[in-house]
Amino acid sequence: MSANGDKSAESPSKLETKIIRQVEYYFGDANLRRDRFLQEKSKEDDGWISLETLVTFNRLKSLSTDFKVITGALKKSQSGLLEINEDELKLRRSTAKPLPEESDDLRADIKARSVYCKGFPSDATLDDIQEFFDGYGKVAFIQMRKTLDTKEFKGSVFATFEDEEAAKKFVEAEEIKFKDTETIRMLKNEYFKKKQEDRRKMRDDEKIKKVKDQEEKTKKAEEEAEQHYETGCILFFSGVSEQTSREDLNEVFDKHGNVKWIDFVRGQTEGYIRFEGKDEAKNASEKAKEANGGKITVKGNEITFKVLEGDEEKKKWLETYEQQNKVRQMKRMGRKRKPFKGRPARGRKEVKYEGKKTVFESDGESGDEGDHSPEAGDTKADDDSEPMAGEKKDTKSVKRVLEGQGDEAPSTKQPRTEETSEQKAEVVAD
């Protein structure tokens, strides 16, 4: 049995240098500690790996498959890393240089002497890069970084030097060029730290952009809403029973004013009614009160009401306008709302539908009674109602039609009851 590292050996040729470097890479710390195939093979024969196995690895096979050439080259190595058996058909890592055990200290040491280097052309080979690093110290490992999709060389590498001092000297050098191109160099730890900072900044920039975009959308919506803003047309009511429906409310107020939509969910006790024209909410409520002996009752419950004014009215108007924009956007996307199959929302009682639904007059795009989430497109929406422009209310219809030109009803929801050895061996070239 012989070991490489013979001080009297003559200097290796260029080919022999490449063979030494490649085989010692296979048995080196960087590869052997994570190469399961070589680890398993070494357990079969007291650490020995046959040359017959090694020459199947692409990188070594491309250099030589002649056992005598390979062992002859390894005998000229000065590292003392490998042993050659007596018949010169097997190799193993020297028992005097056992593989270090995995630990946090080992991983930290490897990171401390690893560097990132960029500035290589896309057609650069591993040999080109290895020769480049030879002038700055012994390198134990080189990883050529490639794109995930096309597997093309990105022009940058990770390289692990034999010692931390050489790594620092390399990155701190004032100017290092690959041919005529200046390289970008930094310690591997610094590279990943910079990447994290870049990603964090990118996320922050995206958040800022989203906020600005939302502010612009809100401002635009408010400006558009201002153009359609009419005063005195929204009536707030409270005190109805949990069994009250929109149709019950419409029956009371539609006799005294043109009801465009009712923002109300069965099971709640309050809501809003939007009338057609300016100041119509006040007129309709007063007429309804007068027609019912000075008070308004719905299903036996006396309700209280008030006409929204000032900031309160404007806020409700803008909320409604924003909701209708989301409804229209979702309809343009052509998405359908999935039926609700879960339990009623907390705080709501499960209520069965009663009575008939009324078709209100509409002169534009129809809508649904689905619940729409804050973000357009997140919730699917049905769009199966038909425009009923110019028709009177039909108490036999089961659909509600909303206005589509600048003032759709708010969207509300009714609760319902119902790696191989060769890959490892080629890590140097990855």
Residues 148-191 have pLDDT tens digits of: 989 999 999 999 998 899 999 999 998 999 999 999 999 999 99
Determine, yes or no, domain membership for 119: yes
Residues 82-124 have pLDDT tens digits of: 999 999 999 999 999 998 888 888 889 999 999 999 999 999 9
For residues 87 and 129, membership in a common domain is answered with no
* Number of Cβ within a 10 Å radius of residue 347: 7
Task: Give me the long-range contacts of 36-44 (CB less than 8 A, separation at least 24).
Answer: 36/424, 37/420, 37/421, 37/424, 38/421, 38/424, 42/92, 42/93
Determine, yes or no, domain membership for 214: no
Determine, yes or no, domain membership for 252: yes
For residues 269 and 166, membership in a common domain is answered with no
Query: Sign of dihedral through CA atoms 257, 259, 263, 265?
Result: positive
Residue 359 tokens read as: 């078709």
State the pLDDT at residue 409: 45
For residues 146 and 269, membership in a common domain is answered with no
| CATH assignment of the domain containing 8 | 1.10.10.10
SS3 349: coil
State the pLDDT at residue 358: 41
Identify the residue with better confidence: 26 or 415.
26
Does the pTM surpass 0.85? The reply is no
Mean pLDDT of 377-385: 34
Q: Is the pLDDT of residue 327 over 70?
A: yes
Determine, yes or no, domain membership for 256: yes
Determine, yes or no, domain membership for 13: yes
For residues 109 and 83, membership in a common domain is answered with no
Mean pLDDT of 300-322: 82
| CATH assignment of the domain containing 326 | 3.30.70.330
Q: How many domains does the chain have?
A: 3
For residues 245 and 149, membership in a common domain is answered with no
State the pLDDT at residue 375: 31
Mean pLDDT of 24-52: 91
For residues 304 and 396, membership in a common domain is answered with yes
State the pLDDT at residue 49: 94
Determine, yes or no, domain membership for 99: no
Domain range for 50: 2-93
Domain final residue pick, 190, 215, 247: 190
Q: Is the pLDDT of residue 198 over 70?
A: yes
**Residue 416 — very low, low, confident or very high, per pLDDT cuts 50/70/90?**
very low
Determine, yes or no, domain membership for 207: no
Mean pLDDT of 298-320: 83
State the pLDDT at residue 304: 87
Domain final residue pick, 66, 93, 120: 93
Determine, yes or no, domain membership for 217: no
Is residue 38 within 8 Å of residue 421, measured between CB atoms? yes
State the pLDDT at residue 403: 34
For residues 56 and 128, membership in a common domain is answered with no
Domain final residue pick, 93, 114, 149: 93
For residues 339 and 404, membership in a common domain is answered with yes
For residues 72 and 132, membership in a common domain is answered with no
Mean pLDDT of 377-393: 35
For residues 248 and 387, membership in a common domain is answered with yes
For residues 253 and 160, membership in a common domain is answered with no
For residues 410 and 281, membership in a common domain is answered with yes
Mean per-residue pLDDT of the chain = 77
Identify the residue with better confidence: 304 or 400.
304
